[in-house]
Amino acid sequence: MHHKVVIIGSGPAGLTAALYAARANLEPLVIRGLQPGGLIATTSEVENYPGFVDGIGGFELAEAMEKQAARFGAQFLDSLVTKVEVAQRPFTIHTDSGQTVTADAIIVSTGASPRKLGVPGEEELANRGVSYCATCDGFFFRGKKVVVVGGGNSALDEGLFLTRYVDELVIVHRRDTLRADPILQERAFSNPKVRFIWNSVVVSINGKDKVESVTLRNLQTGEVSELPTDGVFPYIGHVPNTDLFRGILELDEGGYIVTDGRTRTNIPGIFAAGDVTDHIYRQAVTAAGDGCRAAMEATWYLAEQEHARSKATVSVA
């Protein structure tokens, strides 16, 4: 299977790139990846995507973006990319479903994944009380007590979503001031279900078949304590999904893909957009903007290649 443009990842960056590439008649293929719709699809309510006065569910937003791209001819493949070969043109992309796709241009929009705490019990109790998706799993914690770890927008946003279900929410943060936007801080401070434990980190998650407690360490006093809880939701940032491109594309020290400011990577014909390149803004709207730029750059790149090929043909003739 050959496509002029293959987009790897289907969050706001990938889906916007698909929309623009499709409207440029490039019939792009989007390989959806592990999380169709990207992280935004796991977000309960998106209040800061322009155009939605009353906000919109993250899943609904991603679904609408996909339908819009499909309307103009974008195609979709439900697979994970396992390997990308760039030594020869066209590029070759291998997937876990055994399909091989070739592409004249690639847009990498593989996003970033939630960072793990890396403490004992986290892996063992994953999906048994440890969750990274409040929207997906909040319902299972109705009437229970849960711990959210982190002090950024995700911790507060998703924590506030959990208060729809839980009786008590404890936010454990390693400092005594929050990084989250003031509006979210105000909402959390005024919510009677929310309690904060400051200057503390989770050192283990405990339980036999399901989460029963977390062990905390106060970073100022060194005091270690146990807090009974039914669930743990770590929201401590993200790591870029760039393992596929190690040794292929230039990455920065955080593992993010380096671009030239115009979404172009160090390999001509490979572009990168969204959270996989961005550890600063990380917004759906900035990712979407990036996706647009990557698709426009890919369109211009392909036109130049075509022009060079036709010139070469004319001069040979």
Please report whether residue 282 would count as binding ligand NAP according to CB under 6 A.
yes
**Cβ at position 197, least distance to ligand NAP in Å:** 12
Q: Does residue 157 carry a catalytic annotation?
A: no
Q: How far is 102 from 284, CA to CA, in rounded Å? A: 28
Stretch that binds ligand NAP, among 17-25, 54-62, 126-134, 144-152 (CB under 6 A): 144-152
Contact at 8 Å (CB) between 227 and 213?
Answer: yes
Rounded least distance, CB 64 to ligand NAP, Å: 19
Q: Is the peptide bond before 182 cis (omega within 30 degrees of 0)?
A: no
Residues 251-280 binding ligand NAP (CB under 6 A) are: none
CB 168 within 8 A of CB 193: yes
**Cα–Cα distance, 295 to 26 (Å, whole number):** 10
> Is 136 known to be catalytic?
yes
Residues between 207 and 236 that touch ligand NAP (CB under 6 A): 235-236
Residue 205 C-beta: closest distance to ligand NAP, Å = 13
**How many other CB atoms are there within 10 angstroms of residue 15's CB atom?**
34
Binding residue (CB under 6 A) for ligand NAP from 95, 110, 135, 154: 154
In 109-228, beta strands by DSSP E: 112-114, 145-149, 168-172, 194-197, 200-206, 213-218, 224-228
Q: Which of 104, 137, 230, 275 is catalytic?
A: 137
**Pick the catalytic residue: 96, 136, 176, 252?**
136
Would you name the residues annotated as active-site residues?
133, 136-137
Residues at the interface with ligand NAP (CB under 6 A): 48, 149-155, 157, 174-175, 179, 201, 235-238, 282
